Structure 1
Amino acid sequence: MFELKDLPSYDTLVKMGVEYSNPDVDGLQAWLIWASATSEMLSAFEANLDRTSGLSQTQFFVLILLKRNPDGLSIGTLADGVSVTSQTMTRIIDRMEVAGLCDREQHPQDRRAWLVRLTEHGTEVLGKALPAHYVWVAELMSHFDAQERDVLVRLMLKLNQQGILPKTNGG
């Protein structure tokens, strides 16, 4: 989450750039605007999920991962899939299991591991969450024409493919 709401003016960035040796004031300004917009978008995404389905972002993505993998996934695989620790994923699955969204059973080949599967109720909740999410994304993306979307995708892929954005496993 990007926490700065009061973005500095360009003049302030220039002054601080001189004082603290910033070689790319324009780059910093672009990054600040990008980070702020991304943070606002993710907050709106979370609010929309909560309003339409009562799900958190992590729960939503766990349901999608389980839907894509009907034979089930391990806690570790789910944790990697949404960039949280295994301990955090265990707590998330505990809550989701109590809510009836998924269930778990011992892994058939590894008695120490669990296999998590989507329940019928989880499928129903996802069936309500996804259409609302698709409408929200369509509204958000309606502000960009096809060419702007293409540029946006190419820029984000450029960061990911060059390894500029490090992959993290946060909690």
Structure 2
Amino acid sequence: MNLTRRFAIFGALGAFLAACAGKPARFLTYNGPEVTRVQVFKGQRILQLLHNNQLLKQYEMEMGFAPEGHKVVEGDGRTPEGAYRINRRNPNSRFHLSLGISYPNSRDIAVARAMGKSPGGDIFIHGTPEMYIGQPDWTWGCIAVTNPEIEEIYAMVRDGTPIFIYP
């Protein structure tokens, strides 16, 4: 067998093995009960995943640097309160992995516009960079958990899942 053919065969074999290696470790699989609801209790700093009324998982979390009250305008440092949906996912997040929350809704937009301001956006559940580990309420309005926890949440929660954020 000539040298060029050997390189071609070994190159193809290497590409095949790399493609079969599976997902990176941060992309977990989940085969349990469907998460039908996400609940966030800002006052207790708790995020819960539920299947109907059954608690599946619970996590401690951090949030916006101004934790009291509902997010009203861009840059206020508050985490929204109310009923939203998980509406997107970002596997390339600066914060490890992230799940988008459908803030702002039409009411949020109307309130901010009445003040002549933007309601902001890009509110996510995401991981925590090393420099923020142990710091309380450091986000600009997002909900932060540890990186291993966002890996679980990312695997368990599907787009379209309702999320209820309580004071």
TM-score clears 0.5: no
Higher helix share: 1
Q: TM-score, normalised by structure 1?
A: 0.28
Higher strand share: 2
